[in-house]
């Protein structure tokens, strides 16, 4: 076999590290063993459920995937080695729009495209050596999975948790079809770049997620194992605000003129009803039904409102609705403030959102920053009704003289004025009293509002779970009976045609019989949002082949909650809110016992290249296949853990992968040279009376085991773990330098006993096992080990052996010994100084004095001069 030059000139190279040959050998062995990564049933071991978010089968894995799955895999292997019963499954989030787009582009049925992609990505996963239990594979686009989506839908329907209501969708008049938000590009259709997309009202199915708003919010406090950032994002998303609703009656234009279909009452939501005497206008969302009434007879107003809607939509597309430049239009109408009977103008504004609160606010420019900005812009009256309380620092200032510009907009630390019979109350008192007053007089009440909305799950698309509902002329909406599930998604549907839901063009799907009356009925042709699929998939892994139920409760109760869930922070809101909701629903119908699905959550950073996110446009995509072909799977995975702490973004650098590959080569050559499983001493216990050289190496070995183990338990800085193993390998090479190449390791044997050499190599291979499984398995065999490395016990460190040798040093102050400190031998001077100055007796002796000089005489003395 050819040899490669070795960086260490004092040794020869017995063999070359050929990752491809080694990895092929083990790949083939592993391929033949389905039980390798299987979780045990009825195990007496402690369980550990580690899960990475399932990928969308786009066709190929990218480096971000490799990193995500490398983190989970290293953890799964570590927990197996620590004696846990580990569940580490994988599956496919296989429904969704890209399959339909690909179908339209390449004329391939979505199912074929998806299944081919899955086959390809599964092969990539296997080549990378990820330890997934493929017996439990879940593919969400197959009927054996999605039938349970339908089953859950029916269970929710029975309990009033799904309902139908009118809702807006994006509509392309050219396509005559509904567009997903991603298909709206700059306000136009993705296929018709100059055709503006309209909003159209359609009846759609909703899941009542809001019935769990309070619990979803409250239980965030239980999720101590989640990143604070994610909990905050969820808290904001649920967006609970306490406040009041107050009815402002629309003033009739001509007395007695009836209101429009939306009625004559504008209900505003406010968190600051105490400022209502300062309300100088009412602001409506452009989509507010009353605005619809006003514009139906006023085309000039309609044009202006349409403009506001367009502005709102582009701000939403830009992703920052909060930063919208505020615009409004007066409607010319007035509404009556029920507290003081005052007429206030009614405006329509682009920053008022129909999906928050009631879609209407009272504008109080003196005490709300946003209202203030708006009032300044349009010249609306600014009227102060709160003055800072005497205690709040503005003592003695006559309220009349306060410039409203100086009033803190949001303070609750004030006293009401110009507020009728409520003047003189503190804000906090007024909030409660004024809400009660509104309730008593029938024009409002205290309320709690949430930003969280019910979940619209209808999609007018083909590639999704059919919604199991029927429409009968006689019986109306009829659920598909449970025993008739699954409602199979038909194949061979031409989805390139435009005009409505693709399923509505499949007569054999559409037309059916009503289970109630036996008459003709038609099926719901919408499919479910793919977030339904991912809301409960991790339960299915526990019992993936069950055809009687979504899963067996007892089995799920053993595995849940998930001990560690790993995925991108882009899923911090929707996926994790929906799956938390789903768990609470499953608990309430008696399927599971846990309140929350995930005990600990980890969000890894992104993989970037040359400072930018990898993308086709930038041409900076690194292909995992290419990395594996050039450097091996072990090097690619290990580098993705080594390059940065897993929660940070990592910049992919090829020289870094090369470096990791070189290190693996060093480890390989070391073991190839030093493995002597036939030696008589090979399995003997490590002797106690080691030479100083051997003792130093032993200390390093145990320190490394401690460091790696601690990191797995704590902060997960796998980059420093890998660096520590590299340092250990350097120390082993340095000790090997004393070897006599001609004789059969006589010199090594003299300084480092074979029993210890064997022990050290076994432990290094065990440390490498989670990070570089192919190489570790190869070396395990070279060391003469027979057992399954995946279940070999993780090495234990001996705290006494890991401890540095220590020395006692006297501390002199102005020539007198005042204390003695204990520090590791060869401690750096700065460290010894710090320890000396932190010593209690020393601190007492120098208290109040000035340290003029500190000198360290290594191993002997610290001399401090004070005056």
- By the criterion CB under 5 A, which residues form the site for Zn ion? 172, 174-175, 189, 191-192, 472, 474-475, 514, 516-517, 519
Separation between Cα atoms, residue 119 and residue 502, nearest integer Å: 27
State in angstroms the smallest separation of the CB of 473 from Zn ion.
7
CB of 504 to Zn ion, least distance (A): 17
Q: How many CB atoms lie within 10 A of CB 395?
A: 9
Please identify, using beta-carbon distances, which residue of 190 and 682 lies nearer to Zn ion: 190
What backbone torsions phi and psi does residue 117 show, to the nearest 5 degrees?
-65, -40
Extract the runs of DSSP E, i.e. beta strands, from 700-850.
806-813, 816-824
- Nearest residue (CB) to Zn ion, 94 versus 514: 514
The torsion angle over the Cα atoms of residues 547, 548, 550 and 551, rounded to 10 degrees, is -100
- Cis before 486? omega within 30: yes
User: Phi and psi for 253 in degrees, rounded to 5?
Assistant: -65, -45
CB nearer to Zn ion: give 194 or 254: 194
Nearer to Zn ion, 174 or 610 (CB): 174
Phi (first) and psi of residue 256, to 5 degrees: 90, -10
Instruction: Give, as one character, the DSSP assignment of residue 598.
Output: B
Contacts of range 328-332, beta carbons closer than 8 Å, 24 or more positions apart: 328/283, 328/374, 328/378, 329/301, 329/304, 329/305, 330/378, 331/284, 331/291, 331/294, 331/301, 332/301
Neighbours of 307 (CB within 10 A): 14
CA distance 205 to 743: 81
Note whether 578 and 585 are within 8 A (CB).
Answer: no
Question: What's the min distance (Å) between Cβ of 179 and Zn ion?
Answer: 7
Q: Is the separation of the CB atoms in 360 and 268 below 8 Å? A: yes
Beta bridge partners of 601: 565
Q: How many CB atoms lie within 10 A of CB 774?
A: 23
Cα separation, 248 vs 335, in Å, equals 6
User: By C-beta, is 261 or 499 nearer to Zn ion?
Assistant: 499
Nearer to Zn ion, 175 or 487 (CB): 175
C-alpha closest to that of 780 among 757, 762, 794: 762
Taking the least distance from each CB to Zn ion, the nearer of 27 and 471 is 471
Residues 6+ apart with CB under 8 A from 625: 60, 124
Provide the 3-class DSSP secondary structure of residue 579: helix
Closer by beta carbon to Zn ion, 104 or else 432: 104
Give yes or no for a contact between 620 and 610, defined as CB atoms under 8 angstroms apart: yes
Least separation in angstroms between residue 198's CB and Zn ion is 11
Work out how close the CB of 177 gets to Zn ion at its nearest, in angstroms, rounded to a whole number.
7
Q: Give the nearer residue to Zn ion in terms of CB position, either 171 or 581.
A: 171
Beta carbon nearer to Zn ion, 475 or 693: 475
We find the least distance from the C-beta atom of residue 182 to Zn ion, in angstroms, to be 14
Residue with Cβ nearer Zn ion (523 or 637): 523
Residue 299's contacts (CB-CB under 8 Å, 6 or more residues apart) are none
Looking at the Cβ atoms of 188 and 432, the one nearer to Zn ion is 188
Judge contact between 672 and 12, C-beta under 8 A. Answer: no
What is the SS3 assignment for 198? strand
SS3 string of 48-94? EEEEECCCCCCCCCCHHHHHHHHHHHHHHHHHHHCCCEEECCCEECC
CB of 477 to Zn ion, least distance (A): 10
Give the C-alpha distances (Å, rounded to integers) separating 242 from 30, 239, 358, 435, 449: 58, 10, 14, 11, 6
Complex with Zn ion: residue 472 or 694, whichever CB lies closer? 472
Dist. CA 289–CA 369, nearest whole Å: 27
List beta partners, residue 244: 270, 446
Smaller CB separation from Zn ion, 516 or 600? 516
Cβ neighbors of 742 (< 8 A, separation 6 or more) are: none
Minimal distance in Å, beta carbon 170 to Zn ion? Answer: 10
Pick between residue 189 and residue 644 the one whose CB is nearest to Zn ion: 189
Whether 75 contacts 51, CB under 8 Å = no
Specify the residue, 103 or 435, whose C-beta has the smaller distance to Zn ion.
103
Distance of alpha carbon 12 from alpha carbon 4, whole angstroms: 10
**Distance in Å, CB of 186 to Zn ion, minimum:** 13
Min dist. Cβ of residue 522 to Zn ion (A): 11
Q: End-to-end alpha-carbon separation of the chain, Å?
A: 72
Nearest CB to Zn ion, comparing residues 71 and 514: 514
The order of strands in the sheet holding 607-609 is 612-613, 607-609, 650-651
Give the whole-angstrom CA distance, residue 235 versus residue 230: 9
Minimum CB separation from Zn ion for residue 319, in Å?
23
Beta strands 342-349 and 607-609: pairing type?
unpaired
Q: Which residue has the tokens 């989030």?
A: 93
| Residue closer to Zn ion (CB basis): 423 or 498 | 498
- CA atoms of 753 and 585, how far apart (whole Å): 62
Distances (CA, A) of 88 to 36, 131, 601: 12, 7, 15
């Amino acid at each position: 076999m050819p040899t490669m030059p070795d960086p260490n000139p004092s040794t020869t190279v017995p063999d070359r590290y050929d990752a491809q040959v080694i990895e092929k050998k083990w790949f083939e062995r592993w391929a033949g063993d389905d039980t390798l990564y299987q979780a045990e049933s009825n195990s007496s071991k402690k369980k550990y459920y580690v899960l990475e978010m399932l990928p969308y089968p786009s066709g190929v894995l990218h480096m971000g995937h490799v990193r995500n799955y490398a983190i989970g895999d290293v953890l799964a292997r570590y927990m197996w080695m620590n004696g846990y019963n580990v569940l580490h499954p994988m599956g496919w989030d296989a429904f969704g729009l890209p399959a339909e787009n690909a179908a339209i582009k390449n004329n391939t049925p979505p199912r074929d495209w998806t299944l081919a992609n899955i086959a390809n990505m599964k092969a990539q996963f296997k080549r990378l050596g990820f330890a997934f239990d493929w017996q439990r594979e879940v593919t969400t686009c197959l009927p054996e999975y999605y039938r349970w989506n339908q089953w859950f839908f029916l269970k929710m329907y029975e309990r009033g948790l799904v309902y139908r209501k009118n809702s807006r969708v994006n509509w392309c008049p050219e396509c005559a079809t509904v567009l997903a938000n991603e298909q709206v590009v700059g306000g136009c259709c993705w296929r018709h770049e100059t055709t503006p997309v309209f909003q159209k009202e359609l009846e759609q199915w909703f899941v009542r997620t809001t019935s769990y708003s309070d619990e979803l919010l409250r239980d965030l406090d239980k999720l101590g194992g989640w990143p604070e950032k994610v909990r905050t994002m969820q808290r904001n998303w649920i967006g609970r605000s306490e406040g009041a609703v107050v009815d402002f009656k629309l003033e009739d234009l001509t007395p007695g003129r009836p209101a429009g279909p939306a009625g004559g009452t504008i209900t505003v939501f406010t968190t600051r009803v105490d400022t209502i005497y300062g309300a100088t206008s009412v602001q409506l969302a452009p989509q507010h039904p009353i605005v619809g009434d006003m514009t139906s007879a006023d085309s000039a107003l309609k044009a202006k409102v349409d403009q506001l809607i367009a502005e709102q939509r582009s701000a939403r597309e830009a992703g920052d609705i909060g930063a919208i430049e505020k615009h409004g239009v007066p409607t010319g109408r007035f509404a009556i403030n029920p507290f003081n009977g005052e007429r206030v103008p009614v405006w329509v504004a682009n920053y008022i959102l129909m999906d928050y609160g009631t879609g209407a606010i009272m504008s109080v420019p003196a005490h709300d920053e946003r209202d203030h900005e708006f009032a300044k812009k349009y010249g609306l009256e600014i009227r102060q009704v709160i003055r800072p309380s005497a205690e709040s620092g503005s003592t003695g200032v006559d309220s009349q003289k306060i410039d409203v510009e100086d009033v803190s907009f949001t303070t609750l630390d004030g006293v009401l004025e110009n507020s009728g019979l409520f003047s003189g109350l503190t804000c906090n008192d007024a909030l409660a009293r004024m809400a009660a007053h509104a309730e008593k007089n029938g024009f409002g009440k205290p309320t709690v509002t949430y930003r969280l909305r019910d979940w619209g799950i209808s999609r007018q698309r083909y590639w999704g779970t059919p919604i199991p509902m029927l429409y009968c002329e006689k019986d109306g909406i009829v659920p598909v009976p449970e025993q008739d599930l699954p409602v199979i998604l038909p194949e061979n549907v031409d989805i390139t045609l435009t005009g409505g839901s693709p399923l509505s063009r499949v007569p054999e799907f559409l037309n059916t019989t009503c289970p109630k009356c036996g008459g003709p009925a038609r099926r719901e042709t919408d499919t479910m949002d793919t977030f339904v699929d991912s809301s409960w998939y991790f339960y299915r892994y526990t019992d993936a082949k069950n055809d009687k139920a979504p899963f067996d409760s007892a089995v799920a109760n053993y595995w849940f909650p998930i001990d560690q869930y790993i995925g991108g922070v882009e899923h911090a809101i929707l996926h994790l809110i929906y799956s938390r909701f789903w768990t609470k629903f499953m608990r309430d119908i008696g399927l599971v016992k846990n309140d929350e699905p995930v005990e600990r959550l980890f969000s890894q950073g992104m993989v970037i290249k040359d400072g930018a996110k990898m993308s086709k446009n930038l041409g900076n995509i690194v292909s995992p296949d290419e990395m594996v072909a050039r450097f091996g799977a072990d090097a690619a995975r290990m580098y993705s853990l080594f390059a940065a702490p897993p929660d940070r973004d990592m910049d992919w650098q090829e020289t870094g992968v090369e470096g990791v590959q070189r290190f693996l080569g060093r480890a390989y050559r070391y073991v190839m040279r030093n493995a002597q499983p036939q030696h008589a001493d090979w399995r003997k216990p490590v002797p106690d009376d080691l030479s100083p050289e051997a003792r130093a190496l032993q200390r390093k070995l145990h320190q490394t085991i401690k460091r790696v183990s601690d990191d797995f338990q704590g902060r997960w800085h796998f980059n420093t773990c890998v660096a520590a193993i590299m340092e250990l390998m350097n120390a082993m090479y340095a000790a090997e330098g004393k070897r006599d190449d001609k004789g059969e390791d006589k010199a090594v044997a003299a300084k480092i006993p074979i029993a210890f050499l064997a022990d050290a190599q076994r432990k290094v291979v065990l440390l490498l096992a989670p990070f570089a499984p192919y190489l570790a398995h190869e070396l395990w065999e070279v060391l003469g080990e027979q057992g399954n490395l995946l279940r070999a016990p993780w090495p234990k460190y001996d705290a006494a052996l890991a401890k540095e040798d220590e020395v006692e040093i006297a501390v002199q102050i102005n020539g007198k010994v005042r204390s003695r400190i204990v520090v590791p031998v060869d401690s750096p001077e700065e460290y010894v100084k710090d320890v000396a100055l932190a010593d209690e007796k020393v601190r007492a002796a120098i208290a109040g004095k000035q340290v003029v000089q500190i000198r360290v005489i290594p191993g002997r003395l610290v001399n401090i001069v004070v005056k």
